[in-house]
Amino acid sequence: MRNSVIALMIVSVFFSCSRNEKQDIADKAQDAQELVEEKTDSTVEGLKDEAKDVSKNIESEKDALVSKIDYSKEQINIKLKQADEDIKHASAQEKARLEKKKNELKNSLDELDKSLEELKSEKKRDWKEFKKDLNKQIDKVQEKIQ
């Protein structure tokens, strides 16, 4: 589009000027076109660099979330083993309560596994939304563990 406009300007001025003026106009038009190309190239490179930075930041955030999930899973597994031991020595009423707690922990573990799988996959979901939801989920799991 810009090239077309520049070409049109050159042609219109070309027919109304002397030979030297025509050459000056053609040179200025060429300089303008080169300047536009340089600015465009510079902008494209800047955008590429920004995209790389964003990608690195997302990878860092993913790594941090994976660590949080792994830690939560370890804590759940510890609680599950502890619940198994407690169930062996508990009364019937206490066993029912401990079994319920154990099932809740297993469900939390399953949810974390699903989230971890989604985090590692390349599904197209809004990153900020996913990260927010996952942090809430991890916080809930941590509350259950306490």
Positions of the chain with pLDDT lower than 70, given as ranges: 1-19, 22, 44, 122-124
Closest CA to 144 of 105, 112, 106, 114: 105
| C-alpha separations of 88 from 4, 13, 48, 75, 94 in Å | 84, 97, 60, 20, 10
Q: Which pLDDT score is estimated for 103? A: 94
What's the number of domains the chain is made of? 1
Residue 115's domain comprises 2-145
Distance in angstroms (rounded) separating the CA atoms of residues 5 and 85:
81
The residue written with tokens 């902008």 in the block is 43
pLDDT of amino acid 15: 60
- So what's the pLDDT on residue 108? 92
